[in-house]
Amino acid sequence: MTAQARITLHPAFEVGAVDPRLFGSFVEHLGRAVYTGIFEPDHPTADAEGWRGDVVALTRELGTTVVRYPGGNFVSNYRWEDGVGPREERPTRVDLAWRSIEPNTVGTDDFVRWCALAGVEPMIAVNLGTRGAAEAADLVEYCNIEGGTTLSDRRRANGAEQPHGIRLWCLGNEMDGPWQIGHRSAAEYGALASQAAQAMRRVDPSIELVACGSSARDMATFGEWERVVLEHAFDDVDYISVHAYYQEREGDRASFLASGAAFEAFLHEVIATADAVAARRHSTKRIRLSVDEWNVWYIDDFAGETNLELRERPRLIEDVYSALDAVVVADLLTTLVRNADRVGVACLAQLVNVIAPIMTEPGGEAWRQTTFAPIALLARHARGTALDARLDSPRLTTARHDEVDALSAAVVWNTEAGELVLAVTNRAAEPVTTALDHLGFTHVGLVEALTLRADHHGPRRTPAEVAEAAPVRLDGIVVGEGSTALTLPPESWSLVRLSARA
């Protein structure tokens, strides 16, 4: 007998609105993300400024809403002034984070123009590694003040007459990590983040600020880091960041497929820590999560940033993804949607070439990796209100994450489209017959059902190989009065769209 599961939902059981910012991404000055990624003046599709048109088109197709920039580790020794003004006057520097040569051909004003082309919101990180509150406030002045001050007038002289109006700002990057230039203790960083936040807000009170949380759940300082940072900066910030990367280790496929369960536990632990700080202060303020780096990353294959040969636009961290990786990525994004009440921003790390859904060849093609399709499907359809999808699922035992649910589901009620959208992962190696009880909904009909199967093919290196791993139609769905029956293939992620009325 196949395993059985039940998902129960009702329009009145709302989790919260799915913020479009959940479908964000990240472009760092790292490897070929910027140079020969989004920017390549000699490319046949490049516009007059040098932006690759094929990459802009794929970014739009991916449904990306917000893009974090310029790092990552890169930001912790970045002087933003190097990247503005006439290109021929910009200095060439050694980037200490990735030991690369940085020509500064692309900087903040350029990136903001690329964002307009790609139809995304910029999210800017300030350097709290080698710099401090003054330089962070200067950058806000340069970007967001209309004019009449030295820095805002410099922006205007550099061609940006209107202020950039950047709302989202990260207060440094992964300051808990010993690899970070300017790494600090939680107390030191918390005090600095608070000072920088206050200075930046005095320039523009409307900005939203993200304090650095832990760079991974397995950091020795995790938990205590968040607590101490928020004890210092609770009143000054809106978000605390979460960074999470997963990979298959030692052929342990079951644990890898259950990465979403570990991810969700991580999110809940950060929320609990932030709420504990709120409780100690008798505050009703709720800090939201900015999951501004998440993905599958075979980080164990990366030799480390200190052993790198000093080069310009090196090929770094260009992971090639499999169908299995795509199922895990889909499950991670499904997990973020399910937690829409507390996750306000999420950025897939990264967008182009570096652990990315979009790959490019210099002078050549741009193509989609296996992870592209499920992200694009969720970004397009998981819009509206996340519902509490009560799950009765078979359980799985994994080596790394103990016992987890075999299924992981998010349901979004998209009132605009009149659609109930179910995203569901089956982490088990066997099919699971599932009843979706949609109590309180009427006129339910099937619009579309797609499924993505993990296989054993391994990394898919060419567009043709990727195409073979594209989501296919999920057959055998029976829509009934009050309940829909479906069988989820083993090791799969599916998206089911049902027309409905509440």
Minimum gap (Å) between residue 99 Cβ and ligand AHR: 13
CA 56 to chain centre: 18
Give yes or no: 188 in active site. Answer: no
d(CA 29, CA 51): 15
Minimum gap (Å) between residue 197 Cβ and ligand AHR: 19
Nearest to 409 by CA among 479, 335, 474, 473: 335
In one-letter notation, the amino acid at residue 119 is: G
Give the residue with the Cβ less far from ligand AHR, 215 or 255: 215
Nearest to 385 by CA among 12, 18, 7: 18
Please identify which of the residues 174, 208, 248, 491 carries the catalytic annotation.
174
Give the residue with the Cβ less far from ligand AHR, 214 or 350: 350
Nearest to 264 by CA among 177, 352, 363, 332: 332
The contact pattern for ligand AHR, residues 151-180, with x = CB under 6 A and - = no contact, is ----------------------xx------
Give yes or no: 231 in active site. Answer: no
Please state whether beta strands 407-414 and 66-69 pair in parallel, antiparallel, or not at all (unpaired).
Answer: unpaired
Name beta bridge partners: 397: 403
The contact pattern for ligand AHR, residues 269-298, with x = CB under 6 A and - = no contact, is ------------------------x-----
Kindly tell me which residue out of 100, 194, 290, 350 binds ligand AHR, with binding defined by CB under 6 A. 350
Please state whether beta strands 492-501 and 442-453 pair in parallel, antiparallel, or not at all (unpaired).
Answer: antiparallel
d(CA 461, CA 442): 45
The interface region with ligand AHR, picked from 16-24, 68-76, 190-198, 392-400 by CB under 6 A, is 68-76
Minimum gap (Å) between residue 239 Cβ and ligand AHR: 16
Give the residue with the Cβ less far from ligand AHR, 9 or 30: 30
Q: Where is 59: in which H helix or E strand?
A: helix 53-62
Q: Where is 375: in which H helix or E strand?
A: helix 372-381
d(CA 491, CA 330): 12
CB 395 within 8 A of CB 403: yes
The interface region with ligand AHR, picked from 65-73, 113-121, 465-473, 480-488 by CB under 6 A, is 65-73
Within 10 A of 154 (CB to CB), how many other CB atoms are there? 15
Give the residue with the Cβ less far from ligand AHR, 28 or 419: 28
Q: Is the dihedral of CA 220, 224, 226, 228 positive or negative?
A: negative
Give the residue with the Cβ less far from ligand AHR, 354 or 488: 354
Minimum gap (Å) between residue 495 Cβ and ligand AHR: 26
Name which of residues 134 to 153 contact ligand AHR (CB under 6 A). none
Minimum gap (Å) between residue 315 Cβ and ligand AHR: 14
Give the residue with the Cβ less far from ligand AHR, 226 or 293: 293
Within 10 A of 103 (CB to CB), how many other CB atoms are there? 18
d(CA 484, CA 23): 28
Tell whether residue 63 is a contact of ligand AHR (CB under 6 A).
no
Size of the site for ligand AHR (CB under 6 A): 11
The interface region with ligand AHR, picked from 70-78, 121-129, 141-149, 480-488 by CB under 6 A, is 70-78
Give the residue with the Cβ less far from ligand AHR, 33 or 200: 33
Minimum gap (Å) between residue 26 Cβ and ligand AHR: 7
Name which of residues 17 to 36 contact ligand AHR (CB under 6 A). 28, 30
Task: Return the beta strands (E) in 369-430 as ranges.
Answer: 385-387, 390-392, 395-398, 402-405, 407-414, 419-426
Kindly tell me which residue out of 128, 200, 244, 349 binds ligand AHR, with binding defined by CB under 6 A. 349
3-state secondary structure of 78: coil
Name which of residues 71 to 90 contact ligand AHR (CB under 6 A). 71-73
Give the residue with the Cβ less far from ligand AHR, 59 or 215: 215
Residue in the shown chain whose Cβ atom is closest to ligand AHR? 72
Minimum gap (Å) between residue 77 Cβ and ligand AHR: 12
In one-letter notation, the amino acid at residue 30 is: L
Q: Where is 142: in which H helix or E strand?
A: helix 133-144
Please identify which of the residues 40, 81, 293, 491 carries the catalytic annotation.
293
Within 10 A of 201 (CB to CB), how many other CB atoms are there? 18
In one-letter notation, the amino acid at residue 353 is: N
Q: Give, rounded to a whole angstrom, the gap between the first and last alpha carbons of the chain.
A: 34
Give the residue with the Cβ less far from ligand AHR, 29 or 155: 29
3-state secondary structure of 148: coil
CB 492 within 8 A of CB 434: no
The contact pattern for ligand AHR, residues 252-271, with x = CB under 6 A and - = no contact, is --------------------
Q: State the helix-helix crossing angle for 224-233 and 186-203, rounded to 10 degrees.
A: 40
Minimum gap (Å) between residue 454 Cβ and ligand AHR: 24
The interface region with ligand AHR, picked from 69-77, 135-143, 369-377, 470-478 by CB under 6 A, is 69-77
Name which of residues 214 to 233 contact ligand AHR (CB under 6 A). 215
Residues in contact with ligand AHR by CB under 6 A are 28, 30, 71-73, 173-174, 215, 293, 349-350
Residue numbers annotated as active site: 174, 293
